[in-house]
Structure 1
């Protein structure tokens, strides 16, 4: 009975987020806040396997990163920077999970190009991105590239680049959200935050 109720509540929550209008610009988003919980969502691995984000978060404290896609040079620099600090982040007791609207196939290309060993996950439909409250309408000049990189699933939504630090209970402990996609948290500052959260 509990399982049926949980499935029903998850479906109801997903339906509510799906109906929420997408903000017109990155400055208009209403993200989840520190102290709130990350909602569940089904995402895809580079091998096109469905995974529950909450199941992954239960395993270890998490640095949860949202990026625009492997086509974005600022995102690639950020992903590479995180890859360079991954050992430090793991030593502090965290895992890194990065989510984008890119298709599973395109995640593989990004992992190879950016020398990423941590988890890259696909949210091509934008369900999880919307649930976290960081979605906005893509400017016209981005629509073709995001359509291609999501394999035709998404042509209108982008996430605001964000980093959340999440507990194993899915609580948001820290967040860095940058409506200006050129601004990213430095790995030095992120590592400092993780040390202070211990």
Structure 2
């Protein structure tokens, strides 16, 4: 009987561990699907204030962007492109929120460098990227960069660059997830998607 109980407990433990383990590569992630809800997590603003994500979502439909950090040139190009399309996106009734593992003070640098007026938030502990299912184990050559930019809060996780369109109830209406960090959704495609959702 003890042996059977041990086997059952070992099986349960391994199943729970496999569900919480972070994937080793960007192609192994299991993101939330359309219709599922983005979890309400407390994040930090660039002014180092705590922000409840669900409270921001309640204001209007949201273009929710996950990027690797202000140190990533592909991310910076994407953020700059979004800044150029911001008026069109706002005119369609959406807000833009971009989230990275960068610490709040590094968000300020990104705001200035990329001329960003929309909201940047810090998920330096990686809680949201894990909950959304887009976190993966960063390659060794990125770990020191992540550590520095997150101010030591994150030493090993990266988000797969992703764009979600979320309604005021936090439900996902559309998603674009690119395990190849060099490829991002174009402004043209994003705007056309937002027009169809509207």
Same-fold status (TM-score > 0.5): yes
Alignment partner, residue 3 of structure 2: none
- Pick the structure with greater CA Rg: 2
Unaligned runs of 5+ in 1: 1-15
CA distance in 2, matches of 1:159, 1:49: 22
Alignment partner, residue 50 of structure 1: 50
Aligned-CA RMSD value? 1.2
The one-character-per-residue Cα deviations of 1:63-111 (angstroms, maximum 9, x if unpaired) are 0000000000000000000000000000000000000000000000000
1:82 aligns with 2:82: yes
TM-score normalised by the chain length of structure 2: 0.90
Alignment partner, residue 179 of structure 2: 179
TM-score normalised by the chain length of structure 1: 0.90
Tell me how far 1:148 sits from its aligned partner.
0.4
Unaligned runs of 5+ in 2: 1-15
DSSP 3-state at the match of 1:64: strand
The one-character-per-residue Cα deviations of 1:10-55 (angstroms, maximum 9, x if unpaired) are xxxxxx89x7111000000000000111111000000110000000
CA distance in 1, matches of 2:138, 2:124: 14
1:135 aligns with 2:135: yes
Tell me how far 1:180 sits from its aligned partner.
0.3
CA distance in 1, matches of 2:149, 2:131: 21
Equivalenced residue count is 182
The one-character-per-residue Cα deviations of 1:165-197 (angstroms, maximum 9, x if unpaired) are 000111100000000000100011000000010
